[in-house]
Amino acid sequence: MRSKRSERGEGQLGCIFGLIILAATVYVAFKLVPVKMAAADMRRTITDQARSAGMIPDEKIRKAIMVRAMDLDIPLDEKNLVVRRHNNEISIEAEYTVPVKFPGYVFYWKFNPSAENPIF
């Protein structure tokens, strides 16, 4: 037996809250996923540059990483990119913060990708 409430077409308040939560989750994912994908691409670029560093000078490595950061709209400053060679090994470290803007709030997401590789 149905109640009069369901016959009049009144919805449950929980459904509305569920839709609001779903919309908020989709919005947050829409803002954060591209930033995470760009960070993963930057980490891969740094790793690739460390692997092929045997015959490439440090300045060329720095330039390649900075160009890729600009392509990905990553706010990497040259002073926060460190390329070091020591004991037949290269290490590359970067540090940057990406501001993610939400209505009424800015989330600052910090990244610190690095790679070490032997030089052959």
CA atoms within 13 A on the CB side of 11: 7
Helix ranges, the chain (H): 4-7, 13-51, 58-71
What pTM, to 2 d.p., does this model score?
Answer: 0.80
Query: How does pLDDT run across 13-64, given as a tens digit for each residue?
Result: 778 888 999 999 999 999 999 999 999 999 999 999 999 988 899 999 999 9
